[in-house]
Structure 1
Amino acid sequence: MSATISDLFAFHRNDGLAIGAPDRPWLTYAGLRDLVSHTVTALHAAGIGRGDRVAIVLPNGPEMAAAFVAVSQAAVTAPLNPGYRQEEFAFYLSDLKAKAIVLAEGYDGPAHDAAEAAGLAILRLGHDARDPAGSFSLRAESIAPGEPDRDTARPRDVALILHTSGTTSRPKIVPLLHGNVSASAHHIAQSLALTPHDRCLNMMPLFHIHGLVAAVTASLAAGASVWCAPGFDALRFFGWMETAHPTWYTAVPTMHQAILGRAARNQPVIDAVPLRFLRSSSASLPAQVMLELARTFSAPVIEAYGMTEAAHQMASNPLPPRRQKPGSVGVAAGPLLRIAHETENRLLDEGIGEVVISGPNVTPGYEGNPEANARSFFEAGGHRWFRTGDQGALDAEGYLGLTGRLKEIINRGGEKVSPLEVDGILMDHPAVQQVVTFAMPHAKLGEEVAAAVVLREGMQADEAAIRAFCAERLADFKVPRRVILLEEIPKGATGKLQRIGLAEKLGLGAA
């Protein structure tokens, strides 16, 4: 189905609840459609139209969700992390070729300074806390020159531009068409069997594909509601559950683990607000955590597999009565999914290789980067395949198991070690709450295996004991040579644990 983002909710019930937030009335679907119309008019008056790129720098919450939906009908959205420094904003605004920026009324931080220096049109978003969640008005502080294209969005237009993480190189620009985002939203809604009776509690950052598509857009596609928290806070999560009465939430594994840490003392809320399911994505969920979540919430845990270039979802564990397989990211859920040779442009019928996908949710290609496109896309079997950069294999039932990111596989003197395999063993240790296995430099081997570990509250274990535990369960070359005990493992802006660069962050030089 090829559609624009606004097409997704064009015919839902006028009085259906669309967007909610703490201490705010609900925005209905009729209100959301009116908001889109007013926003298009305001953008045109500010000299912004179809094809123009608008950076959005707003705090997490209902206005950010609504702004993404509304601005995309008239222009190209480019949500940016509000936590960037001025030089980072300057880079991204330039790289995006942004024409305007949306900032909150009263904000005068680094994004404003970078936008002013770049000569962008500055649009101020204002809202009244007494109005429905997500309601806002746009005021042009400065206007873009020229006459805007006043045509509204079409399915083949770019709706959303995001950058890859750029952990090891310059970030790549990922344009996602309206048709890509709409297809992914439908795929997620279908795989989760969402209906207008469902409500998502969103804590994911809304400058990231996970929150934008899995929580917000998929909910709107189904005529369901999304309740937007101001970000993730484990201390406030159960209070939000009690207020919002969600039927599900979606999060990254580190968030789920933090929630589990406070679940025992919040059992009355868990009992009073039964969830239909929980969803996890954007990083591998340890099987042990999946099982503990399912026991704690008495609900299925749906691990999904997504990435920016696929407008988020590629695979998902199915709902009951089909089973969820701990340690697997599920079955193809939207696009075609196969395994390919890691260096040759051909598909494999069996075995481990690079995960590839093809479908209506996949970006047409990186912008201005023919080398990356040549590496990442190939034709085979009548389809154009995108290389995900992940290594894995499909089992006999079509469930995908990931071995890890190809660039994160540890090469210990020619012996390849999957960090996810080592993570899985370490998570079986009774004292280990959280772990990330990573490569540390080694003078002779090139790379050696290391692991950062957070212990469970009130439990003890030292490096020697943890290494001995691994030695009984892993081949010698896979046993971490260093186990670093930490109070907290450093995380990225979206809450994901980051393997690449962790050795440097922890001061581990060549052994």
Structure 2
Amino acid sequence: MHSTMKSMLRDHPADALAFGAPGRSWMTYGGLRDLSREVADALHAMGIGSGDRVTIVLPNGPEMAAAFVTIAQVATTAPLNPAYREEEYDFYLSDLNAKALVVAEGEEGPAVAAATKAGMSIVRLCVPEGAAAGYFSLQSEASGAADTRAPEADDVALILHTSGTTSRPKIVPLSQANVAASAQHVGASLDLSPADRCLNVMPLFHIHGLIAAVTASLAAGASIWCAPGFDALRFFGWMKDAQPTWYTAVPTMHQAILTRAPRNAEVVAQGRLRFLRSSSASLPAQVMRALEETFAAPVIEGYGMTEAAHQMASNPLGAGRQKPGSVGVPAGPMVRIAHEAEDHLMEGTGEVVISGPNVTPGYEGNAEANAKSFFEAEGHRWFRTGDQGAFDAEGYLHLTGRLKEIINRGGEKISPLEVDGVLMDHPAVAQVVTFALPHPKLGEEVAAAVVLREGQEASAQDIRDFAATRMADFKVPRRVIVMEEIPKGATGKMQRIGLAEKLGLVEGA
């Protein structure tokens, strides 16, 4: 078993293909190892080494994939969403205590503005004309002494934030060993080999794309064809060019692909997909069946989360072994059910808990969250996922819902309290409660009920426009309901759960 990013790349033949992209020549594993050495030399010269944190804000594509893989062999990577506003970068960069920001050559957007204010080094990623997919050089005015020791298994490879139910997102550090273990778990579940090729359409600032598509493929010596993001109109053209054996996506992407499939029947017929994978949100059984019929390949639904370095459970490969509506069987860590309030394991329906080599050692600088999230039982340390579920008689896990109130908008997790905090900054707003509104395609959409200050006026659109200047688009409430009073529970607390129904916003409610 490999225990670091570097060791995962060591054994593959130099001429085997690693990264591809539209209109680009392939980067080989030999080329990727050479790039890894060049990146290490460049970062060390800039005073960046083991233990230093490097934030990466790049568009989707082979450079983002290669930057993550190569920088993680030198320092700690912290990819962030390129769609964030400056205020969001201010928060994340200070919270991460990052030393440098990697951005594309010529980029002068909000990430650069926030990093400049924070006094961080700006590192420019430059792609030479005609370079192989994923090749780049790094340039910066920074210099200094660096710890040139190669990261070991327990060193942090990747840091991501998760939105908890508290307004402050939690920092999830994932060690080299966590990332390596999860990549190998995914590879084993999907029986990945050097003959496989993944078409990546997942965002690479998210655990799903970073681990399932990129790192798992590299651990198996397989190739990854990196699309510049997801685009249903271009998907079948990419499929024709890339000739993938699989792709991984969230349910909303699969649904968009399905709607375009009939007019691309020839590409589908000529394709060589061995399977399709779905994760990050629940896949409706109807969609799973339609995908299987369309592509004549099994659909493997997986269950992942950031704290597990992605994968926890997966439907098995093989004809007829996938269960629609189930996230499959444990696929890496041990997966059990625990009592939701007491620290012990149990049978039946309860909170899903995990223990294994892919599980984060704990949230950074958050003793309270760690005390709530981890417990010892039966000789193992268990992590509480916050999801409720149960195993069926055949050992397949079925999730029954989230215990907490996080809004899951097509796989993007949004903290209602974070949205509350922004809307409360509006001068006319006295009270706000952000909640999930059911949505036919995304699963959930963001909504907010607002009470205005006495004598103040603001329309729903005014409040939405205000929010749009302060947070990424996916977090902005699609519905804002201005009310005289927000319904409260018996203890006087405003209740998010069930609020959509209470307000008559759900059909049939």
1:208·1:494 contact (CA, 8 Å) conserved in 2? no
Structure 2 counterpart of 1:136: 136
1:189·1:222 contact (CA, 8 Å) conserved in 2? yes
2:12·2:221 contact (CA, 8 Å) conserved in 1? yes
2:83·2:472 contact (CA, 8 Å) conserved in 1? no
Within-5 A mapping of 1:130-169: 130-143=130-143, 146-166=144-164, 168-169=166-167
1:435-479 CA distance string (max 9 Å, x none): xxx9xxxxxxx9999643369xxxxxxxxxxxxxxxxxxxxxxxx
> CA 1:506/1:277 → structure 2, altered by over 3 Å: closer, same or farther?
farther
> CA 1:113/1:502 → structure 2, altered by over 3 Å: closer, same or farther?
closer
2:387·2:403 contact (CA, 8 Å) conserved in 1? yes
Distance (whole Å) between structure 1 residues aligned to residue 320 and residue 356 of structure 2 = 24
Structure 1 counterpart of 2:82: 82
Distance (whole Å) between structure 1 residues aligned to residue 22 and residue 178 of structure 2 = 31
Residue 3 of structure 1: CA displacement? Answer: 1.2
Opposite residue 291 of structure 2, the aligned amino acid is L
Within-5 A mapping of 1:283-362: 283-321=281-319, 323-348=321-346, 350-362=347-359
1:205·1:494 contact (CA, 8 Å) conserved in 2? no
Structure 2 counterpart of 1:40: 40
Structure 1 counterpart of 2:370: 373
Structure 1 counterpart of 2:446: none
Within-5 A mapping of 1:342-491: 342-348=340-346, 350-408=347-405, 451-453=438-440
Structure 2 counterpart of 1:229: 227
1:50-95 CA distance string (max 9 Å, x none): 0000001111000000000100111100001111111111111110
Structure 1 counterpart of 2:183: 185
> CA 1:409/1:372 → structure 2, altered by over 3 Å: closer, same or farther?
closer
Partner SS for 1:262:
helix
Structure 2 counterpart of 1:485: none
Structure 2 counterpart of 1:422: none
Structure 1 counterpart of 2:119: 119
Residue 149 of structure 1: CA displacement? Answer: 0.6
1:24·1:129 contact (CA, 8 Å) conserved in 2? no
Opposite residue 402 of structure 1, the aligned amino acid is L
Distance (whole Å) between structure 1 residues aligned to residue 304 and residue 114 of structure 2 = 31
> CA 1:409/1:117 → structure 2, altered by over 3 Å: closer, same or farther?
closer
Distance (whole Å) between structure 2 residues aligned to residue 377 and residue 254 of structure 1 = 32
Partner SS for 1:261:
helix
Percent identity over the alignment is 67
1:162·1:175 contact (CA, 8 Å) conserved in 2? yes
Larger mean Cα displacement after TM superposition, 165-174 or 284-293: 165-174
Partner SS for 2:440:
strand
Partner SS for 1:263:
helix
RMSD: 2.7
Opposite residue 346 of structure 1, the aligned amino acid is H
**What are structure 2's unaligned runs of at least 5 residues?**
409-415, 417-432, 443-467, 488-502, 504-509
Residue 142 of structure 1: CA displacement? Answer: 3.1
> CA 1:16/1:449 → structure 2, altered by over 3 Å: closer, same or farther?
closer
Structure 2 counterpart of 1:4: 4
Structure 1 counterpart of 2:14: 14
Residue 407 of structure 1: CA displacement? Answer: 1.4
2:252·2:441 contact (CA, 8 Å) conserved in 1? no
Within-5 A mapping of 1:242-281: 242-281=240-279
**What are structure 1's unaligned runs of at least 5 residues?**
411-418, 420-437, 439-445, 456-489
> CA 1:147/1:278 → structure 2, altered by over 3 Å: closer, same or farther?
same
TM-score with structure 2 length normalisation? 0.82
Structure 1 counterpart of 2:412: none
Distance (whole Å) between structure 1 residues aligned to residue 437 and residue 85 of structure 2 = 31
Distance (whole Å) between structure 2 residues aligned to residue 505 and residue 26 of structure 1 = 48
Opposite residue 252 of structure 2, the aligned amino acid is T
Partner SS for 1:323:
coil
Opposite residue 219 of structure 1, the aligned amino acid is S
Partner SS for 1:176:
strand
1:393·1:402 contact (CA, 8 Å) conserved in 2? yes
2:163·2:406 contact (CA, 8 Å) conserved in 1? no
Structure 2 counterpart of 1:240: 238
Distance (whole Å) between structure 2 residues aligned to residue 318 and residue 13 of structure 1 = 29
Distance (whole Å) between structure 1 residues aligned to residue 396 and residue 262 of structure 2 = 32
> CA 1:230/1:449 → structure 2, altered by over 3 Å: closer, same or farther?
closer
Distance (whole Å) between structure 2 residues aligned to residue 6 and residue 30 of structure 1 = 13
Partner SS for 1:305:
strand
Distance (whole Å) between structure 1 residues aligned to residue 356 and residue 311 of structure 2 = 11
Runs of 4+ residues over 6 Å off in structure 1: 446-450, 493-496, 506-509
Opposite residue 266 of structure 1, the aligned amino acid is N
2:52·2:99 contact (CA, 8 Å) conserved in 1? yes
Please state if 1:212 is matched with 2:210.
Answer: yes
Structure 1 counterpart of 2:98: 98
1:252·1:495 contact (CA, 8 Å) conserved in 2? no
> CA 1:188/1:216 → structure 2, altered by over 3 Å: closer, same or farther?
same
2:193·2:220 contact (CA, 8 Å) conserved in 1? yes
Residue 122 of structure 1: CA displacement? Answer: 1.2
> CA 1:503/1:125 → structure 2, altered by over 3 Å: closer, same or farther?
closer
1:457-505 CA distance string (max 9 Å, x none): xxxxxxxxxxxxxxxxxxxxxxxxxxxxxxxxx9xx9999x9xx96855
Residue 23 of structure 1: CA displacement? Answer: 0.3
Partner SS for 1:162:
strand
Structure 1 counterpart of 2:29: 29
Residue 169 of structure 1: CA displacement? Answer: 2.0
1:105-149 CA distance string (max 9 Å, x none): 111111111111111111111002411100000011334xx5211
Distance (whole Å) between structure 1 residues aligned to residue 481 and residue 200 of structure 2 = 32
1:274·1:297 contact (CA, 8 Å) conserved in 2? no
Distance (whole Å) between structure 1 residues aligned to residue 477 and residue 382 of structure 2 = 31
Partner SS for 1:285:
coil
Please state if 1:72 is matched with 2:93.
Answer: no
Distance (whole Å) between structure 2 residues aligned to residue 221 and residue 506 of structure 1 = 49
Partner SS for 1:407:
coil
TM-score with structure 1 length normalisation? 0.81
Residue 274 of structure 1: CA displacement? Answer: 2.7
1:206-242 CA distance string (max 9 Å, x none): 0000000000000000000000000000000000000
